[in-house]
Structure formats: C-alpha cells, structure tokens
Amino acid sequence: MTSRKTVAVLGASGYAGGELARILRDHGGVDVIALQSESSPGRPLRDAFPDWQGDERFSQKTPEQIAAMNPDLVFFATSEGIAKKAAPLFAKSRLVDLSRDWRGEWRYGLPELDRGNIVTADAVANPGCYATACLLAAWPLVKEGLVERAVFDGKSGYSGAGRKPNERNDPKVLAENVLPYHLAHHAHVAEIERALGMLVHFTPHVVPAFRGLLVTAHLFVRGAGDFRELFEETYRNEPVVKVQEKIPDFRDVRGRDGAVLGGFEFDGRGRLVVVSAIDNLGKGAAGQAVQNMNLLLGFPETRGLRL
C-alpha cells in the first residue's frame, strides 16, 4: 500500500491551480503542504474561489522555502516562464508542469499514449487542453498509419484564457458570441504534431461558457469501415476515456476529469468526423495532472479523479 505523500502547488490561485486544490483535497493519499500564490500570499482561498468550502489560505512561503520542505511532488500551475526558473529548486521532488514551459523537454504526460514511460519519469510536462482532445481523437487511427491529413476545430470555455482580463475571457464580449483566434499558428499545433508525428491543421475558438472543451476532428483516412471499433479497442482498458456512438458535448464532461469520444461519421469520401470532449480544467489541466501524479507516486491511476 502506498504511504501518504506530500505535494505542493505553485500558482494555486489560477483556475487550474484552484481545480488542483479541489481534487487534492479529496484525494485521500496526499498532504498538501503548500498552495502557493505570488499574487495572493496569506489570503483565504475563498477570496479567489468564492465557492471554496474551508478556511485554507494561500501559502506565504517562497518557492525556495517550499523546496526546503522536500515535497514528494510539486505541481507548477504557473504563468509562462515561472516553471522554467523554479524547477531547478526542486531537485529532490518529482515534478508536473501544467504550463507549457517544459513541453518538448520533459516526459510528455498523456497517459493514454505513454503511460509506461511516465511511471518512471522524474518530471512530466502536462499536455495542453486542446492538444489532449485532439490527440485522443486521432491517436487510434494515426498509430495504425491510417490518417493522411488531420484538421481540428476546437471550442473552449473562457476559463482557458486565464484570470488576467482580456477579450477572450470577458463574459460581456462573449455574450451571444464566438471568438476565433490564432487561426493558423496556435502554440498547441507543434505539440500535437510532435506527439502524432505528422502535420496537422488546427483553429481554436472561445465560446460563452466558463468551462468545457470540444474538438471536432476531421480525419482524412485510408480505406473505409467501422472505425469506431478501432477506437473502442484502443481505449477499452483506458480508465478515463469513454467511447460512445452519441456525439458528446460540454454536458458530458463539465466538472469531470475524463474524456468522451463520439460521432464517428464517415462521409464516404475519405473523411471521418470524430468529436472529442473534455473539461479544459479537468482532463485538460488539473485532472490530467493528478492522473500523472498518481502514476508517478504509485497510487491507482484514477484515485481522486471525478469520472
């Protein structure tokens, strides 16, 4: 039986950090020794998260002080650039980075593609939210060499744009509206291409919902057939991925840490359409980070997850 472990969260006052705090609180196998926030040291968590039940406060300790406590594992739910600077402080801890600072350098943390190597890693780069949904939608066919071209159309709730006020997280701008952005050059394109080993096309949109993420994958395939069977076989033993015939939507995944794949319509002209749904704060961020933590620390993979 795995003994209790100590963990710390840097950047706990962001949306992903707050989601991490919620999952870890109910995990049962870890003691959270620090919920650190550079912007809110010493303040109650409910100041950042009004629905938070409890009197916990953000840690006033610096990253250096937290490193001296030798936590078993540290999450970086930080803004871009911070994990790059702070990670060397935690030489005695295992690390999970939710930012994109270490993607392409640390072990890529999508368990459904690379579980065996994640278990033995010291540091894991959590995948991006859009990348997670895209990869799950394409992987069963790509690994069999059946995809000639992939086009991904993404829709996300505005929590994905972070807390810092901007057009893409302004409910007034988003009311009765949809915002396309980074039409051809989103940062997740390189991440998806690196994992799949092929060129892809991707365009994201923000929709007037706080959380949830949906990708419609247009997979131009070789051959024809009931491709859903291949998805079912690939994910048959994957604990957080559900394959269904029905087209999924935000309601299937909101507040949960799993993924749902559905649709599987073939147009008879070489295009298979697959819809991949996750919660951008769940499987797209905090839920996947805890899934990786469980693998790194020897817990059952789904412990603490909301499935």
Enzyme catalytic residues: 129
Cβ-Cβ contacts under 8 Å for 113 (sequence gap 6 or more): 135, 139, 195
Supply 106's token pair.
């640390």
CA atoms in the 13 A half-sphere facing the CB of 24: 27
Give me the DSSP letters along 71-122.
-SEEEE-PPTTHHHHHGGGGTTSEEEE-SSTTTTTSEE--HHHHHHHHHT-S
Cβ-Cβ contacts under 8 Å for 237 (sequence gap 6 or more): none
Sequence-distant contacts of 55-64: CB under 8 A, at least 24 apart:
56/21, 58/12, 58/13, 59/8, 59/12, 59/34, 59/35, 61/34, 61/36, 63/10, 63/36, 63/89, 64/89
DSSP 8-state secondary structure symbol assigned to residue 178: -
DSSP 8-state secondary structure symbol assigned to residue 203: E
The count of other CB atoms within 10 Å of the CB of residue 93 is 21
Selection from 166, 193, 194 nearest residue 181 by Cα: 166
Q: Do 128 and 249 contact (CB within 8 A), yes or no?
A: no
DSSP 8-state secondary structure symbol assigned to residue 161: G
| CA dist., res. 272 & res. 270, Å (int) | 7
CA 290 to chain centroid, in Å, comes to 10
